[in-house]
Structure 1
Amino acid sequence: MSETTELIADQLSLGNSGYWVGCFKDYKLESHFQPIARFDNGKAAVEGYEALIRPFKNNTPVSPFAFFNDVTDGDRFFVDWLCRALHLRNFAKLNRLDKKLYLNLDPAAYANPEQSRSQISIMKERAEKIGLNPEMLVCEIVESTSLKDQTLYTVIDEFRAIGSRIAIDDFGAESSNFDRLLRMQPHIVKIDRSLLARSRHAPQLRSLYANIAALLHDLGIPFASEGIEDADDLRFIHDLGATYGQGFFLARPTTTPADDPTYLNVWQEALISRPEETAISA
């Protein structure tokens, strides 16, 4: 067991709820899981869950952005792996072994390829030990200008080598690059939530969203739409051929997401019911 692995294990404990909690300095960390929908022939089903960190300071919720902003560069690698270890343990407790687990990676935490390679190997062993097959894992990587491309490709290749799938997260944001996308060869591309939000009131951005979706189709890369907030969003991305969808309209993140047809019915109704078009008389 590496020194980092031992330190991470020391920062994990079972909470009163029966789920694991993490500890980093003054913060308590919890796992929340948000369902990701898969659309197939007009029907929706739960494909998997994205693991999200929920920090608390003095028993008060803190935004994830504020928490990660408080992490120094020297602690980024440790915190990234602490969050992942926490999510793996809690997902194993959910016993959703037929679903995918989406894990966010901080690219800047992988500047040392040798250190990263060692921890990826350990992650594989730990996942298998608690009953999780690495092939269930989808590693979400944000394109980042803070990491050299070759280092980024090496890390991606290491995760791919243990059987994990690769998703490019927040595509369409400032640093997106199609040449880099082609080299990464991801299994999934997640289109940035802000693009969908802004496109609701800007026809030009709606066209841009459609163009990105069409290009991904041409490349043969399935895409997921993030930030689905209402039925109109759902119908829009579905009509563009989105394979996956995620957002508060579909389901909010919780520690123990429901695995029943309750919200599947909501998704289904939104897909098949459309506002009646108003006839325009001559």
Structure 2
Amino acid sequence: MTETSANGRILSEPDGSSTASFGPFVMKTALQPIIGRNRSGALVLRGLEGLLRLFFNGRPFSPADFFTRIGDSERINVDALCRRIHLANASLDPLKDILLFLNFDPGVYNDHRQIALEVARLKKDAATGSFPPRHIVCEMTERHAAAPNRLHYLTECLREHGFKIAVDDFGAKSSDAQRVKLLSPDIVKLDSAWVQRLMASQSGFSALKDAINRFRQDGALVVVEGMEENFQVELAWGAGADFVQGFALARPQLAPTRFSGIFRHDAA
């Protein structure tokens, strides 16, 4: 089955997954587990992040190069297509009560009308998938700077429809304490390079623990992402992280995935 969506087409593949075509490019979903711990300390699946994988003539193509090739008017459509296929593909795996992390680039929107239309579309898509809005985490990323009023409107509009908000890559570029204060996120994801620098010294590790503690006191859960070594995972838990994401725990896999058969996802 083929569904036309903005400037792209959403395709149903024989394996049950959804892909999108955008010009000569094929857009696919990779899902990466986000891991927590239950009360007994066992690792459990707490979330999945939808990641874009691009193909050109059947070969992998760099997303960074792709975004340099498309115009500003096309970015809003690509941003939306990513969320649509990620939601459809994550819904294939019979998982309950986990979070789905979907990226939003606030810089693609020119006005409040565009934002309202996209949030309404996401709400409609969520109604047909396996993830209700309360289990969808909208990560605020920025390839382009967004006006603070539009950024604030986007997050408030998403909240009104029941979605959760995350600040992505805290510690990198414009993702700082002021941004956290502006958005009052449900979840803060820490930039991996920033975390690894802090982990390299005792004083830095103390600063990391203090930062995580402040976020948690303000009511936000904390994800430490980009952990590639087992010792980094242990340090992340030791610093007080709620969730950890990275190659040391699980690599992204192209949809369709079956993480339900690999990870526990109970609340015990």
Identity of aligned residues (%): 29
Which shows bigger deviation, 161-170 or 40-49?
40-49
Give 1 or 2: higher helix fraction: 1
| One-letter amino acid matched to 2:51 | L
SS at match of 2:92: helix
* Paired amino acid for 1:194: A
Q: Which residue of 2 aligns with 1:28?
A: 26
**Residue pairs, 1:202-213, within 5 angstroms:** 205-213=204-212
**Distance of 1:207 and 1:101 partners within structure 2:** 30
1:197 lines up with 2:212 in the alignment: no
Q: Secondary structure at the match of 1:175?
A: coil
Give, as a single letter, the amino acid of the residue that structure 1 aligns with 2:261.
Answer: D
Are the equivalent residues in 2 in contact too, given 1:31–1:53 (CA < 8 A)?
Answer: yes
Is the 1:188–1:223 contact (alpha carbons within 8 Å) kept by the matching residues of 2? Answer: yes
Deviations 1:226-273 (A, max 9, x none): 011121111101011100110001101112142235699xxxxxxxxx
Choose which of 36, 39, 48 in structure 2 pairs with 1:38: 36
Number of aligned residue pairs: give it.
260
Show the counterpart of 2:241: 242
The offset of 1:205, in angstroms, is 4.5
Higher relative CO (CA 8 A, sep ≥ 6), structure 1 or 2?
2
SS in 1 for 2:216: helix
2:59 maps to 60
Gaps of 5+ in 2: none
Contact 1:39 1:238 survives alignment (8 Å) = no
C-alpha RMSD of the superposition: 2.3
Residue 163 of structure 1: aligned partner: 162
CA deviation profile, 1:189-248 (whole Å, cap 9, x unmatched) = 000011233445455644443342233234332210001112111110101110011000
- 1:233 is matched with which residue? 232
Secondary structure of the corresponding residue to residue 238 of structure 1? helix
Contact 2:107 2:146 (8 Å CA) reproduced? yes
Which string of whole-angstrom CA distances, capped at 9 and with x for unpartnered residues, describes residues 71-123 of structure 1?
32111101001111111211222232432111011111123211110221122
Cα 1:129–1:176 change in 2 (3 A) is closer
Separation in 2, partners of 1:257, 1:18: 12
Instruction: Give the Cα–Cα distance (whole angstroms) in 1 for the partners of residues 29 and 98 of structure 2.
Output: 17
Give the AA of the match of 2:44: A
Q: Is the 8 A contact 1:139 1:167 kept in 2?
A: yes
Q: TM-score, normalised by structure 1?
A: 0.84
Cα deviation for residue 182 of structure 1 reads: 1.9
Counterpart residue identity of residue 259, structure 1: S
2:16 aligned residue: 18
* Residue 259, structure 1, aligned to residue 260, structure 2: yes
Assess if the C-alpha contact under 8 Å between 1:102 and 1:139 holds in 2.
Answer: yes
Listed as ranges, the matches of 1:80-99 within 5 Å are 80-99=79-98
Partner Cα separation in structure 2 for residue 26 and residue 145 of structure 1: 24
Structure 2 Cα separation of the partners of residues 165 and 107 of structure 1: 15
In the superposition, the TM-score normalised over structure 2's length comes to 0.88
Q: Is this contact kept in 2: 1:195–1:209, CA < 8 A?
A: no
Query: Is the aligned partner of 1:138 residue 2:137?
Result: yes
Cα distance in 2 between the residues matched to 1:11 and 1:243: 37
CA spacing shift, 1:191–1:68, aligned 2, 3 Å:
same
Larger gyration radius, structure 1 or structure 2: 1
Show structure 1 runs of 5+ residues with no match: 265-282
